[in-house]
Amino acid sequence: MPVLNERAYLEHAIASVLTQELTVPAELVLALGPSTDGTTELAQRLAAEDDRIRLVENPAAHIPVGLNAAIRASRFATIVRVDAHSELAPGYAALALETLERTGAANVGGVMRADGRTPFQTSVARLYNSPVGLGGGAYHGGTHEGEAESAYLGVMRRTVLEEVGLFDESIRRGEDWELNLRIRQAGHLVWFDPNLSVTYWPRESWSRLARQFRATGAWRGELVRRYGRRNGIRFFAPPALVILLAVAVVTGILQLAGVLSGVLSLIISAVVHLPLVAYLLLVVLVACLPGGGGPRQRLWTLLVLPTMHLSWGLGFLGGVLRGARDTVDASRLGTRNTPLP
């Protein structure tokens, strides 16, 4: 479990791990980044109270670096990746081990069930769980078990991880997708089991959500630079929306200035503006659909859905054009979006 500034979530996340019922020995290795909110002190106290918890340092604060440090420090044949912003469902680990054995897979993952405690967070969670929000990846609500492109978190065979070389520490986001690509290229199976469930708690504010999605989009753009069409087509929808919006703004300015007029102006408006109108209607429809919650949650949906798409799309375009470079997810670090110490 990589950990950074998670004091509000860490104790619940750890409890969901330690209460897993297993017939084999288990441990929880925390990779501690340079937290500033008391997370490290909380982790040290919890480790002192339960000898199944072990601590390793992750001064770089980057997730793949912390994951690799924790894997190298671990002692058992199966690696269960967990997240400090998530909670495992009861029976998760035992079922994952059974699925590994039954399928012969190298990595098994399940469904990420986002949840929220406030109207904003609940709105974000609903969109996480919707194909309209995050593009319909299997682990965002799939119901059919089978071979998968990637796995949320993942329950992995240590021998396979060592064979393919652990996580790529040069990648800051999307490291799980890249690892699973190498696992599949090595001839191993990645498997999705919808009976496996993890509760995920999204970011708690609009600004943090926007920073998270911009960083994630930038790294997906970087992965497109590196791996091209191995990336799914759904990843290109948000940047297409950003480009369409930019073209619409330029077109509107030219129309107001009289540069574009007549039949040509009408044709361009139909091509450029009508898709944006359709998108706005889609946003309104999603906010109004049953299950959208109370008025505050529905209002947040009107802002959150475009924020997710546009932030991700802007980040993606930057990542494709110039690479992600040192972009990090600074959504738990105040206003920073710079390399960490």
pLDDT at 142: 65
pLDDT of residue 329: 76
Question: What distance in Å separates the CA atoms of residue 173 and residue 106, rounded to the nearest whole number?
Answer: 21
Q: Are strands 53-57 and 28-32 parallel, antiparallel or unpaired?
A: parallel
pLDDT at 10: 95
pLDDT of residue 260: 85
Task: Kindly give the residue spans of alpha helices, DSSP state H, lying in 104-149.
Answer: 119-128, 131-134
Q: What pTM does this model have?
A: 0.86
What pLDDT is stored for residue 38 in this prediction? 94
In this structure, what DSSP letter does residue 30 have? Answer: E
- Give the pLDDT score at 229: 66
Tokens at 20, concatenated = 């897993």
Q: For position 336, what pLDDT does the model report?
A: 42
- Amino acid at site 198: V
Count how many Cα atoms sit within 13 Å of the Cα of residue 324 in the half-sphere of its side chain.
27
**In a structure prediction context, what are the per-residue pLDDT tens digits for the chain, which is 341 residues long?**
999 999 999 999 999 999 999 999 999 999 999 999 999 999 999 999 999 999 999 998 899 999 999 999 999 999 999 999 899 999 999 999 999 999 999 999 999 999 999 999 999 999 998 888 876 555 555 678 999 999 999 999 999 999 999 999 999 889 999 999 999 999 999 999 999 999 999 998 999 999 999 999 999 999 999 988 666 778 889 999 999 999 999 998 998 988 888 888 899 888 988 999 999 999 999 999 988 889 999 999 999 999 999 999 999 999 999 999 878 777 766 444 333 33
Q: 113 is written with which tokens?
A: 């069930």
**d(Cα 286, Cα 303) in Å, to the nearest integer?**
11
The pLDDT assigned to 341 comes to 32
Strand partners, 111: 197
Contact 204, 121 (CB under 8 A): yes
Identify whether the C-beta of residue 320 lies closer than 8 Å to the C-beta of residue 225. Answer: yes
